Amino acid sequence: MNNTNTEADTLESVVTDPYVSLIDTVYNRHSVRGFLDKEVPQDTLNRIFEIAQQSPSNCNVQPWNVYVASGALKDRLSKQMVENTAGGVKPNPDIEYRGDFLDHYRKRQVECAVALYSKMGIGRDDKKGRLRAILRNFEYFDAPYIAFIGMDPKFGTAVALDVGMFAQTLMLTMVAFGLASCPMGTMRNYPDLVREAFDIEKSNMNILFGISFGYEDSAVVANETRTTREDISANVSFLSE
């Protein structure tokens, strides 16, 4: 009997990636706003980012740059961002946010806010509650990790689309490994803090957004929030001529 292990046998013994349907990950992914204080094994983190690295990009330039903070560094950045926000320090994003949602886009935006704030028990006139909800962003919803997503300033909107595809691949891969995440546009507010923390030159990197991630805390009521999606007829057109 030949007991020699083949290369395939060896790979099978060391690869521990979970098997989860792609369709399941798409439907199970949701923005989580409450995480457990639990670290993710470094080998798992490495594997997740290796998979996300397979994302497509224009001419394979792979324009995304990711800066992951945890531990004391994460706590320091959070403290600085909370103080800036509560103190009224004006955000200075590298790329201005243009979010003038009108008509049905505005309707969807409002529905999303109502769904979230209703779960959190925050009324329309509850100014303190709304401020607290905003500050939770800069506490990273207690996530053990915050990833800041950056791009070379020489790139424009077209290449930023590639960064978006990377982010989606990353978040879906996290679901497959039992992790949760929340993409956060507010993480663009104070990019100089991020560059200082990671010793990055401003001329070399724009900070576009962030992703908090870790294990979901199912006891946080905000995590019960679910939003709906339109029928594909609202967004997709099929033509044959």
Tens of pLDDT along 196-212? 999 999 999 999 999 99
Distance CA 207, CA 148 (A): 7
- Per residue in 227-236, pLDDT (tens digit) is 999 999 999 9
- Per residue in 6-58, pLDDT (tens digit) is 444 433 434 467 778 999 999 999 999 999 999 999 999 999 999 999 999 99
Is the pLDDT assigned to residue 96 strictly greater than 90?
A: no
The per-residue pLDDT for 6 is: 45
Is the pLDDT assigned to residue 213 strictly greater than 70?
A: yes
The per-residue pLDDT for 19 is: 75
The per-residue pLDDT for 12 is: 40
**The CATH number, out of the four listed (3.65.10.10, 3.90.550.10, 3.40.109.10, 3.10.180.10), of the domain defined by the range 20-97+138-226:** 3.40.109.10
Phi-psi region of 214 (alpha: psi -120 to 50; beta: other; left: phi over 0): left
The per-residue pLDDT for 146 is: 98
What pTM, to 2 d.p., does this model score? 0.90
The per-residue pLDDT for 16 is: 61
Mean pLDDT of 69-98: 95
The per-residue pLDDT for 140 is: 98
The per-residue pLDDT for 1 is: 43
- Per residue in 113-161, pLDDT (tens digit) is 889 999 989 998 899 999 999 999 999 999 999 999 999 999 988 999 9
Three-state SS string over the chain comes to CCCCCCHHHHHHHHCCCCCCCHHHHHHHCCECCCECCCCCCHHHHHHHHHHHCCCCCHHHCCCCEEEEEEHHHHHHHHHHHHHHHHCCCCCCCCCCCCCCCCHHHHHHHHHHHHHHHHHHCCCCCCHHHHHHHHHHHHCHHHCCEEEEEEECCCCCHHHHHHHHHHHHHHHHHHHHCCCEEEEEHHHHCCHHHHHHHHCCCHHHCEEEEEEEEECECCCCHHHHCCCCCCCHHHCCCCCCC
- Per residue in 155-196, pLDDT (tens digit) is 988 999 999 999 999 999 999 999 999 999 999 999 999 999
Is the pLDDT assigned to residue 2 strictly greater than 70?
A: no
